[in-house]
A and B are shown apart, each in its own frame.
Chain A
């Protein structure tokens, strides 16, 4: 990405170039020409002032305000110290390098800030609303609920709504990270912030801009820093003590040894003052103070690109330490949608049995009945269906093509007197019987189950690979169903037949028994108390669900459980980079402090310890932004 220098940065760059040129000319000239010391001083002071006048100015102002531990002030003291000890070229160069470092830092930070901001930029700029038959381009904030907007191909959908006219493919990648487009047609819901790809669509809005999905997400991401990570607080505290401590150490180093080693010798004073200056140059904790929040900011930004919204650096930290993941079953590991698993016919073929069942159930709105109709796929000629009687809690009795069929549970089979048997599979079983000459023949049964999501298995596998030890499922469903799902997915445990309140107490129990942190994953519908109770509440399928966005700590925009492992991986990567930077920065500074005190480290090394370390830390922190390789 191209980054344009700001006015200030350009000015700085020009000053640096002029200072370098002057310094080079001076150094070369003085190599051949002998001049008195004062002339040398003046010649070196010109580039010094050109490069650093703003540092000196700010340092003075800060001094008046009593801000003595400001890095600019320290830089001034260090360079003035070098001048006093007669090292004019050093003073000039140190100032120059400091400014180059500052410029580079400003560019690097500005650049990463911009690219993170761009990652998160899903805000639609305008909306085309139809008022009195005319198309008007307005700001999304000005569109009311229930107005009709028109979205052309290539435009962002500005507000949540329902399609009134037209059909199109919509790219939801900005919200979910999933780049495969989704087809949307009449009366489908569309979500703000997604990109309309192919067709012109008219949408009746269902929310104001402030209430729309895109605004909620933006608000969430922008306030993501609300919960600070422990590391961040540590750095803040550390910075508060580090700088004063180093400055005091510098003072002691500059004054005490000469008092003992030779109070009258200028050479000795000069030597120790130089060492003290080295201390001052590395006394800024900038590398940590900049890179740690930048890493978290980048990590959160990068995750949001994958449809994972992390509500704060603190949760990043928690996520990285998770060793227990507790799942809600329905809607999380399973689709929450019933479908036909198997057909076990008796006397008839599979297709015939499904045909009969679909006819019997075609008038029912029960989800189980609908799953049979869906599985049938073909056309059902409702004219062939005669009288349909619903037998509450048991099933239906229907006349199809003149024959009477019973379709329902075991109890219904008992009533009609068919010779039925139960199935070895778990799930909801629908039995079918045909009445013939007053006697009922058993035709077989259909097994219906809530379907496990396609990527649930992969999700569990990758969580195990990531070192998550306990994978537990909680459900209100029957034990046999839970056992089946848990077994298929390879979970380490499950608890079935739970009431919503039981889920909280189960999570509390697991919290007590576990060593690491615990995450609860739910769909955000009526599991808010559990989401809050867990160390880290993860809500999935959040697109359009406010409750989930509000009560969870981590929000997965789509409903893929495999994103949980991604979230953990991103968090771990971010934490690793944060610690790399902390250890690297502190290590280098500590070494330079020691070498400086011994008189081995010179000014050059000290400048590297300040700006060099800072720049390396920033570059490292920028890696957090990158998406996971898959």
Chain B
């Protein structure tokens, strides 16, 4: 499944890159792109665990930039 989420208060491009790397490391994630320009994250992951993976991704993002929130 592939889904796009909006990111609020994503303030730095470097952080966006770090978020992308962090989310990619979550098991089950096939691909992830965090776009600073679009303020969006596109996540592609296994259907079965999708909700669980999204939760992990939200955590990973908060870890990189605490101010940034994922609009679910």
Cβ distance A316 to chain B, nearest Cβ, rounded Å: 14
Interface string of A116-157 (1 = CB under 8 A from B): 100000000000000000000000000000000000000000
A222 and B37 contact, CB distance less than 8 A: no
Proximity string of chain B (59-72) to chain A, C-beta cutoff 8 Å, 1 when within and 0 when not: 00001111100000
Q: Which residues of A contact B14 (CB under 8 A)?
A: 71, 239, 284-286, 289
Give A294 to B16 CA distance when docked, in angstroms: 13
> B11, A106: Cβ atoms under 8 Å?
yes
Within 1-44 of B, Cβ neighbours of A (below 8 Å) are at 9, 11-15, 17-18, 33, 35-39
- 5 new A-B contacts, CB < 8 A, other than A225-B38, A239-B17, A286-B12, are A8-B9, A226-B33, A286-B14, A290-B36, A293-B37
Residues of chain B within 8 A (CB-CB) of A209 are none
User: In whole Å, how far is B43's beta carbon from the nearest beta carbon of chain A?
Assistant: 14
Contact across chains for B37 and A65 when beta carbons are under 8 A apart: no
Of chain A, the residue at the smallest CB distance from B67 is: A58
Nearest CB on B from A23, distance (A): 24
Bound-state Cα–Cα, A62 to B15, Å: 12
Which one, A71, A113, A116, A297, contacts B12 given CB within 8 A? A71
Judge if A505 is at the interface, Cβ distance under 8 Å: no
Q: A225 to B38: give the CA distance in the assembly, Å.
A: 10
Is the CB–CB distance between B11 and A225 below 8 Å?
Answer: no
A236 within 8 A of B: yes
Q: Taking CB as reference atom, which chain B residue is nearest A72? A: B12
Task: Report whether A225 and B33 are in contact in the complex, using a CB–CB cutoff of 8 Å.
Answer: yes
A183 to B39, CA, bound (A): 39
The chain B residue with its CB closest to the CB of A222 is B38
Whole-angstrom distance between the alpha carbons of A113 and B13 in the complex? Answer: 13
> Once bound together, how far apart are the Cα atoms of A67 and B33, in whole Å?
20
Q: What chain A residues lie within 8 Å of B11 (beta carbons)?
A: 102, 106
B36 lies within 8 A of A293 (CB)? yes
Query: Does A384 lie at the interface of the complex (its beta carbon under 8 Å from any beta carbon of B)?
Result: no
B residues touching A (Cβ–Cβ < 8 Å)? 9, 11-15, 17-18, 33, 35-39, 63-67
Q: How far is the CA of A225 from the CA of B4 in the complex (A)?
A: 14
Q: Which chain B residue shows the least CB distance to A286? A: B14
Q: Which residues of B contact A21 (CB under 8 A)?
A: none
Prevailing SS type, chain A contact patch: helix
A375 within 8 A of B: no
Which residue on B lies nearest to A228, using beta carbons? B33
Chain B nearest Cβ from A608, distance in angstroms: 19
26 contacts between A and B (CB under 8 A): A58-B67, A61-B66, A62-B66, A65-B63, A67-B18, A67-B63, A67-B64, A71-B14, A102-B11, A113-B37, A113-B39, A116-B37, A222-B38, A225-B35, A225-B37, A225-B38, A226-B33, A239-B14, A284-B14, A289-B13, A289-B17, A290-B12, A290-B13, A293-B36, A293-B37, A297-B37
Which residue of chain B has its CB nearest to the CB of A64? B63
Q: Which residues of A contact B67 (CB under 8 A)?
A: 58
* Interface residue total, chain A, C-beta cutoff 8 A: 26
Q: Which chain A residues in 18-60 approach chain B with CB under 8 Å?
A: 58
Q: Which of A62, A109, A236 sits near B17, CB closer than 8 Å?
A: A236
Give the shortest distance, in Å, between A31 (CB) and chain B (any CB): 36
Distance, CA A65 to CA B60, complexed state (A)? 10
Shortest CB–CB separation between residue B61 and chain A, in angstroms?
12
Would you give the shortest CB distance from B15 to chain A, in whole angstroms?
8
Residue of A whose beta carbon sits closest to that of B64: A67
Residues of A within 8 A of B18 (CB): 67
CB distance from A243 to the nearest CB of B (A): 8
Q: A113-B37, A225-B37 in contact; A293/B66 too (CB < 8 A)? A: no
Q: Give the 9 A-B CB pairs with smallest separation, nearest first.
A: A290-B13, A289-B13, A297-B37, A289-B14, A65-B63, A61-B66, A293-B37, A286-B14, A113-B37
Closest to A284 in B: B14
Q: Which residues of chain B come closer than 8 Å to A294, judged between CB atoms?
A: 37
Most chain A CB atoms below 10 A, which of B14, B18, B36, B39: B14
Provide the bound-state CA to CA distance between A58 and B15, in Å. Answer: 12
Roughly how many angstroms separate A71 CA and B64 CA in the complex, as a whole number?
12
Q: How far is the CB of A152 from chain B (nearest CB, A)?
A: 32
Q: How far is the CA of A536 from the CA of B12 in the complex (A)?
A: 32
A375 to chain B, nearest CB (A): 52
CA of A383 to CA of B17 in the docked complex: distance in angstroms?
A: 76
Q: How far is the CA of A106 from the CA of B13 in the complex (A)?
A: 11
- The docked-state distance in angstroms from the alpha carbon of A153 to that of B27 is 53
CB distance from A495 to the nearest CB of B (A): 40
Expressed in whole angstroms, the Cα–Cα distance for A67 and B35 within the complex equals 20
Which of A356-391 touch B at CB < 8 Å?
none
Q: How far is the CA of A116 from the CA of B64 in the complex (A)?
A: 27
Interface mask (A199-234 → B, CB under 8 Å = 1, otherwise 0) = 000000000000000000000001001100000000
Report B-chain residues with C-beta under 8 Å of the C-beta of A70: 15
How near does chain B come to A287, taking the closest CB pair, in angstroms? 10
Nearest residue, chain A, Cβ from B36: A293
Near B by CB (< 8 A), chain A positions 282-323 give 284-286, 289-290, 293-294, 297
Q: Which chain A positions have C-beta within 8 A of B35? A: 225, 293
Whole-angstrom CA separation of A383 from B14 in the bound complex: 78
B63 — which chain A residues lie within 8 A by C-beta? 65, 67
B24 to chain A, nearest CB (A): 12
The answer to whether A293 and B13 touch (CB under 8 A), given A65-B63, A225-B37, is yes
Q: How far apart sit A407 and B65, CA to CA, in the bound complex (Å)?
A: 79
A67 to B63, CA, bound (A): 9
Residue of chain A at shortest CB distance from B22: A67
Q: CA–CA, A106 to B10, complex, Å?
A: 10
Within A563-615, which residues are at the interface with B (CB < 8 Å)? none
Q: Which residues on B sit within 8 Å (CB–CB) of A109?
A: 36
Contacts of A226 in B (CB 8 A): 33
Nearest Cβ distance between residue A370 and chain B, in whole angstroms?
Answer: 48
Closest chain A CB from B4 CB (angstroms) = 9
Q: How far is the CB of A93 from chain B (nearest CB, A)?
A: 22
Residues 89-117 of chain A, each 1 if its beta carbon lies under 8 Å from chain B, else 0: 00000000000001000100100010010
Within 8 A of B (CB), among A244-300: 284-286, 289-290, 293-294, 297
Cα(A289)–Cα(B33), bound, Å: 15
A58 CA to B63 CA in the complex, in Å?
Answer: 10
Shortest distance from the beta carbon of A3 to any chain B beta carbon, whole Å? 15
